Structure 1
């Protein structure tokens, strides 16, 4: 959504200017009345939590991924300011629509922020400026809104052809910048009466009737996770909307501010905005070499492989508690590496953070040298634990490694590296019994 505090249209729009824009763009298009009885909707299953994504504008446009507590999971630079962003219904594609001129739909890599494709928009939306609302519908079509008109549009992302949506905002309201398909089938739409007032929130019923259900602080983006709607406000707050009534109201909706980011949000999305139940999924597989047993002085190489097994970009974050390794061994300096993302060690915990495209993998390695002598418990056990939504172990024991340390002994007959048969200079008889070593003078 557009950050109205920034004069992107040459000057800050006023309520009077909105009226002129509405008149010039023919916003007297027929709109559904909010007085009709609501149509019946079928409840959907509650989805698991999924991350929230937002885009900012200004001098350094950025794509930011948040968890449901408002903590930043990842960031990526964007090439331009987008009026809004939206995931496809299966979460495999991230779209962005440029702001404020030249209507073009872009495809964005959610991991790097790079544009991977673009398509010019045709039809009635091509003549509309200040496009600031973009959300996928379950059938793959995109719902589009603009700060310049009350009309809502549909956009085919495959062809770029736009058409009129069968409902619109009331005549004195334009798009604030987002739409969400709720679990009951209604579409939640955020409006704007002017550049400073709270955003009126509407339900668009399946029969295309429109009813206002309340207001929220001026909102430029919205995203849904596990049936909960989050509104991204113009002041940078991420607000959780605690209740979405089904009856008409103009009263403020109850909200909880989960994070005051200070960011200049232009838009927001999640993989569940279309009413589909897409959630991130990734697996962790861990191994150690040598496996099972080691000796004092050995260097053990640990490898953790993270794989995105879902249909949408996912954070494969994990932590690895090394405390039960470091009582017997020492982390080899400079041995911590990762093929992507960031691996850090703080105190006795290794953490990896990174976002992976569907099907992509990242490999994290580190080495530990067993102490000589080993005065610990002679057992090296550690577990890699997923710390982002959708993470699991590749197998039931795939996140855990356990290594027992055998004590090295150099006395004849007690074994040790470099000795005959690996057990000093002892030899065995034909029956496999160990014999006392022969001493020569």
Structure 2
């Protein structure tokens, strides 16, 4: 069920909106009407570095409040429950802190929260003060994005003015630009690779969202429209808009010239979720990306006998500066033709581990420097009618995942054939801690047999 923000209808259909707005420059003077070229030339854009892909995060609200991490194809990588509705969420420029602002918030008492991306729990709160908190009838903060300098850009359903928030103090100040008359914030601001800020507005409760470029000199121009959008996030220079319908739309073009035409978009996923906001660690123009490593071991290693138990351990470690999904898969097909998974042996210190058919999957989100350990056991079949080789590889499946070293995700174990162990004089020390060695009598018998003419 799609949950539309109830406050949007109330605020935008109210006759008391009374927006008297202008497109302003740094000095606050009116610069241009929406859709027209700025009266003064924009400052030269500052190119950003090309970033590798990162994950997208979105928050839902209403009947279902969740923090969901997606890859750029719209696959959900993790989900955590949230304690309240947030008008939007935003990562700090280094990706270490996730912010959220309560929605709609009480006049004079709206709050900035920090959120644990792994659990969804609130870890701190700071009252927002200044002109944003004084917006009436409600602040209704619905756009929140960090700038590269750490300040948060914020928008509201109840005014076209854009604001800055100091996340350390909660003090808000007017941003030196605002939406044009009749338009309020729809839900996000993205620093583009060319230095412009992309801003999503809305004129009413149902119309498509006009999309604007805010130039470095704070002039603003509309470049098109997209389906009504309540949040946006950037990955590797591409912007994804989270629509009120629950669709995740990729913006296929971001023109620089003025236009009110629909922008070309591709729906990468129709989720049906009630999105309230979205973010990524690259929204501020930085290149922060998730990074995690996977390593796999087995005990005993190298060789085993029929009937032996083998314990596998997969370690996932977040090596980056931002929370990361550490998902991996492990194909057990070449293990289970020689062995049987021990029931109840699959455990994980965190996250979710499951086996379906011949495939083990683990999903979970880790804080920076956190580690998850996944363990399972198999028993080598007696008799072993397989290929006498147990080989499997853990494959990282989320953005930023790698093996700790070449071959570190793969384990291969050879199963000794039973007839080899039955031969007199067979020394059964395979380096696996097991000893099926023959007694002295058998060894003497073997030597005597070899000495017979």
* Distance of 1:95 and 1:360 partners within structure 2: 20
SS of residue in 2 equivalent to 1:422? coil
1:173 maps to: 183
1:7 maps to: 6
How many angstroms does 1:126 deviate by? 1.6
Pairing 1:139–2:126 present: no
CA contact (8 A) 1:104 1:121 kept: yes
2:264 maps to: 254
* Distance of 1:202 and 1:398 partners within structure 2: 48
Pairing 1:413–2:413 present: no
TM-score calculated relative to the size of structure 2: 0.89
1:192 maps to: 202
Query: C-alpha offsets along residues 246-271 of structure 1, whole Å, 9 cap, x if unaligned?
Result: 01111110011111111111100011
Cα 1:8/1:211, change in 2 over 3 Å: closer
2:78 maps to: 74
Pairing 1:108–2:123 present: no
* Distance of 1:108 and 1:314 partners within structure 2: 14
CA contact (8 A) 2:231 2:275 kept: yes
1:209 maps to: 219
1:85 maps to: 89
CA contact (8 A) 1:413 1:436 kept: no
How many angstroms does 1:14 deviate by? 4.0
Query: C-alpha offsets along residues 284-314 of structure 1, whole Å, 9 cap, x if unaligned?
Result: 0110001111111110000000001111111
Cα 1:301/1:420, change in 2 over 3 Å: closer
* Distance of 1:18 and 1:185 partners within structure 2: 36
2:43 maps to: 39
Cα 1:319/1:426, change in 2 over 3 Å: farther
Q: CA RMSD in A?
A: 2.5
How many angstroms does 1:6 deviate by? 4.2
How many angstroms does 1:97 deviate by? 0.5
* Distance of 1:181 and 1:27 partners within structure 2: 19
SS of residue in 2 equivalent to 1:8? helix
* Distance of 2:94 and 2:434 partners within structure 1: 61
For structure 2, the 5+ residue unaligned runs are: 33-37
How many angstroms does 1:31 deviate by? 5.0
Query: C-alpha offsets along residues 180-215 of structure 1, whole Å, 9 cap, x if unaligned?
Result: 000000000001111111111000011111011001
1:17 maps to: 15
For structure 1, the 5+ residue unaligned runs are: none
* Distance of 1:30 and 1:98 partners within structure 2: 32
Question: Aligned ranges for residues 217-296 of structure 1 at < 5 Å?
Answer: 217-296=227-306
Alignment match of 1:339 (pick from 335, 349, 370): 349
How many angstroms does 1:419 deviate by? 11
CA contact (8 A) 2:23 2:179 kept: no
1:119 maps to: 126
* Distance of 1:354 and 1:310 partners within structure 2: 15
Pairing 1:435–2:453 present: no
How many angstroms does 1:59 deviate by? 2.5
SS of residue in 2 equivalent to 1:17? coil
How many angstroms does 1:5 deviate by? 4.1
SS of residue in 1 equivalent to 2:155? strand
* Distance of 2:326 and 2:15 partners within structure 1: 47
How many angstroms does 1:173 deviate by? 1.3
